[in-house]
Amino acid sequence: MYRDIPEDLRALVEPIAADHGCELVDAEVQRGHPGLLRITVDNESGDGRVEVGALARLSREIETQLDAADWMNGSYRLELASPGLDRVLGREKDFVEACRIGSEVKIRIRHAQEGRRRFTGVLVDFDTKSETVRLRGDGQEFVIPFGDIEKANTVYKFTSADFKDRAKK
């Protein structure tokens, strides 16, 4: 989740992403030998379409800055990606957009609610005042505090249209 990104990492990555017409969506840090830093960026329009060349240029620049700051304290692997088909929902605005289009989502929460930590269903509402997510799934409706969400992704549903051009070949 965006809010879990260390502030010093955000301060390092966000200006670089902005210079390339992108926004930082999420980052996952795994310390170790070697470490792993997985960063997700999106373009400013939020449609998830970040060109591979742009990701490569962004990756080189971020890696240079990480190395100069010795941010990972040793060897690490940097993975940079766009949100993809199973779009990561890391920011409030990602949830608002997913609600607007009625996306199906998978959510994992930090603390069990009604005996479970994983939920799948249609995102019905994101209430910015109470900072809660309303999800309809398994014949029930769940209200989940935004601060309790550990990870969230959209669920992409393939249709025949996804394979239309492939059938012509």
Long-range contacts, stretch 121-124, CB < 8 angstroms, 24+ apart = 123/95, 123/98, 123/99, 124/99
Question: Tens digit of pLDDT for each residue in 88-98?
Answer: 898 888 898 88
Question: Tens digit of pLDDT for each residue in 120-134?
Answer: 999 999 998 999 999
Q: Coil, strand, or helix at residue 147?
A: helix
Structure tokens that stand for 47 in this block: 């449609």
CATH code reported for the domain at 92-154: 2.30.30.100
Q: Which of 70-79, 91-100, 158-167 has the highest mean pLDDT?
A: 70-79
Confirm if 116 and 68 have CB atoms less than 8 A apart: no
Confirm if 25 and 84 have CB atoms less than 8 A apart: no
Whether the ω angle into residue 34 lies within 30 degrees of 0, i.e. cis, is: yes
pTM for this predicted structure: 0.81
Q: CATH 3.30.300.70 occupies which residues in the chain?
A: 2-81
Structure tokens that stand for 67 in this block: 């190395």
CATH top-level class of 2-81 = alpha beta
Q: CATH 2.30.30.100 occupies which residues in the chain?
A: 92-154
The rounded mean pLDDT for the chain is 90
What's the pLDDT score for residue 167?
A: 54
Beta bridge partners of 105: 121, 154
